[in-house]
Amino acid sequence: MRPARSNAYMQQATVQKSSRHRRRGYVHAGELEMYYEIGGMGFPLLLLHGGFSTIETSFAALREPLRDQHDVIAFEQQGHGHTADVDRPLSYAQMVDDTAEALAQLRVDRADVFGWSDGGIVALGLALAAPDLVRRVAIIGAGSGPEAEAPGFRERMRNVSPDNENLAAFREHYEKVAPDPAGWPALVAKVRDNYLDFRGWDESRLRTLAAPLMVMLGDRDIVTLEHAVKLQRIVPHGRLAVLPGCDHSAPVTRPDWVASMLLDFFGD
């Protein structure tokens, strides 16, 4: 899936450990011009945002403590935030391919990966598809397939609408930064259809996952504890972290907890 590349980025990263370089822009990935932000110092750490979300709404409070030990990279996926939509469905497999290609264009040969919600599904898919690229992977509020959430969640997603009050903050931010602010209804429909069409990552492949995996969730998350435990036990090198008193929004409401766990896991 990824073309062979040199280790030039890793050589650059070594030099950059003494600086906190920051940049943002667009990188060509297939049909997309994907928006990215980079900042920090150390080994590359890729952050993958949730559905309906952006880098800012997912990781505004989380990125800063991670930058002391990592060169933090974040993308915005098709139709999300600054990345314009294109005429194709949204799918987790396509987002895996787009992400791998964007990293290739940035000359990132190896990285740790953290994904929240839909971003967690993409992170897990990326670790399966590109084991030479992903050193370690952590996910929060995400699972390996449609059985991850309680049955009622799937029905709520089936009926989600652009005017859903739970999405109001996401919509407000989208309309501030999107190339086409009127594209919100199309994004909601594509995120919904992607979720409902997803059949899950293959369990036989999960059983041979090369990268160590940390499965994180709040004890009031949309992902069930039963699924998280199963996933953590299926993979060869799994860990489980349950955040007490937290729901699906833990990266926003408890970024200090999430950051400390990530720094420990990725620095181990």
The domain ranges of the chain are 8-267
Mean pLDDT, the chain, as a whole number?
Answer: 93
Say what percent of the chain tops pLDDT 70: 93
The predicted structure's pLDDT at residue 8? 41
Check pLDDT > 80 for residue 60: yes
pLDDT of residue 5: 40
Task: Find the mean pLDDT for residues 174-188.
Answer: 97
Give the pLDDT of residue 200. 97
Packed helices 151-158 and 184-197: angle between N→C axes, nearest 10 degrees: 140
Of 79, 22, 30, whose CA–CA distance to 52 is shortest? 79
CATH number for 8-267 (one of 3.90.1200.10, 3.40.50.1820, 3.40.630.30, 3.30.200.20): it is 3.40.50.1820
Confidence of residue 20 (pLDDT cuts 50, 70, 90): low
The pLDDT score that the predictor gives to residue 6 is 37
178-205: average pLDDT:
97
- Considering the entire predicted model, what is its pTM? 0.92
Q: What is the pLDDT of residue 216?
A: 98
Give the mean pLDDT of 200-225. 98
Q: Are 224 and 248 in contact (CB under 8 A)?
A: no
Cβ–Cβ under 8 Å, residues 94 and 78: yes
| pLDDT value of position 17 | 40
Mean pLDDT value across residues 65-93: 97
pLDDT at 12 over 50: no
Q: Across residues 2-19, what is the average pLDDT?
A: 39
- Please state the rounded mean pLDDT for residues 148-169: 94
Angle at 26 between CA 251 and CA 128, to 5 degrees: 55
Matching residue, tokens 């429909």: 189
Decide if 90 contacts 70 (C-beta within 8 A): no
- Is residue 193 pLDDT above 80, yes or no? yes
What pLDDT does residue 21 have? 73
Is 3's pLDDT higher than 90?
A: no
- The per-residue pLDDT for 11 is 38
